[in-house]
Chain A
């Protein structure tokens, strides 16, 4: 699983890259991309800082 990125909403500000403590995000040609080799821990910080809602971390909800 990786965060969902909407490249059409991303304005390349780089805030999500800056807050990702696992260095799971990089900017390529002004658009955020996920580093496939990184295991995202779903902390949601990237989602929290993005004012354009370009990156989201949706949860699946289930009963035990």
Chain B
């Protein structure tokens, strides 16, 4: 099992600190052991600490109103979690549960504030990590919304082609209104569907080449 100092040395948050500084930071960290299934914290509670996994694995999840659990991430040794709420003093946005016997190294929000005040390098490191995360989140949001729109556009195409109503013509703006998105997103979706070979756009005609592919996009496998 890695020790506190190893994990702090490897963490991007503490990059650039010299051995003495790392020792000082390590002195503020605490170790805690959890049994499989034990909860580390619950969504909605005030966040008290961020954690690094020394051994084992922890799942980060949210629970929907109807009790369904959605796992957002599985954190493995050397990885960190729950940094965001301790930086802004907020609540835990997720719950965390040990998936195995788990040993974590924790750092309270108050101690992280002290560390950032004493070592500006750590504050700079945190900004870099958070900026990288933000880019990843933007990319994820784009991907999710785009994928969902493709499914909705596919549904519209199938409905209107299947309808067979003579004279039923749709503009991209019509499709955007139906799909609840912007015209530009519909345009990109149509292009993507054409690139995937599901449709062929021949000037003012959209010809469905692969009906099954469109149907699969409407009801993606879960």
A-B contact number at CB 8 A: 64
Contacting residues, chain A, for B201 (C-beta < 8 A) = 42, 59
B180-222: CB near A (< 8 Å → 1, else 0) gives 0001100100000000000011011111110100000000000
Query: Which of B169, B174, B206: most chain A CB closer than 10 A?
Result: B169
Contact A59 B207, beta carbon cutoff 8 Å: no
B204 touches A60 (CB 8 A): yes
Query: Do B204 and A59 touch across chains, with their CB atoms under 8 A apart?
Result: yes
Q: Is the pair B187, A44 in contact by a Cβ cutoff of 8 Å? A: yes
* A61 contacts B157, C-beta separation under 8 Å: yes
Contact-residue size bin, chain A (C-beta under 8 Å from the other chain): 10 to 19
Q: Is the CB of A59 within 8 A of B205?
A: yes
A30 at the interface (CB under 8 A from B): no
Q: A44-B172, A48-B183, A48-B184 are in contact. Are A61 and B204 (CB under 8 A)?
A: no
- Nearest A residue (CB) for B174: A58
Docked-complex contact B208 and A41, CB < 8 angstroms: no
A53 to B172 Cα, complex, angstroms:
11
Q: A1 near B: Cβ within 8 Å?
A: yes
A62 contacts B161, C-beta separation under 8 Å: yes
Inter-chain contact A42/B204, CB cutoff 8 Å: yes
Task: Point out which of A56, A59, A64 has the most chain B C-beta atoms below 10 A from its C-beta.
Answer: A59
In the complex, B46 has a CB within 8 A of chain A: no
CB-defined contacts of A61 to chain B, threshold 8 Å: 157, 160-161, 168-170, 205-206, 208
A33 to chain B, nearest CB (A): 19
Distance between Cα atoms of A34 and B173 in the complex (Å): 20
Chain B residues positioned under 8 Å from A64 (CB to CB): 200, 207-209
A41-B205 in contact given A47-B173, A58-B169, A59-B171 (Cβ < 8 Å): no
Q: Are B206 and A62 in contact (CB under 8 A)?
A: yes
Most B Cβ at <10 Å: residue of A40, A42, A64: A64
What would 9 A/B residue contacts be, using CB atoms closer than 8 Å? A1-B204, A42-B203, A44-B171, A56-B173, A57-B204, A58-B174, A59-B172, A60-B205, A64-B209
Q: Which residues of B contact A (CB under 8 A)?
A: 157, 160-162, 168-174, 183-184, 187, 200-201, 203-209, 211
The 5 nearest A-B residue pairs measured at CB? A58-B169, A42-B203, A61-B161, A56-B171, A61-B160
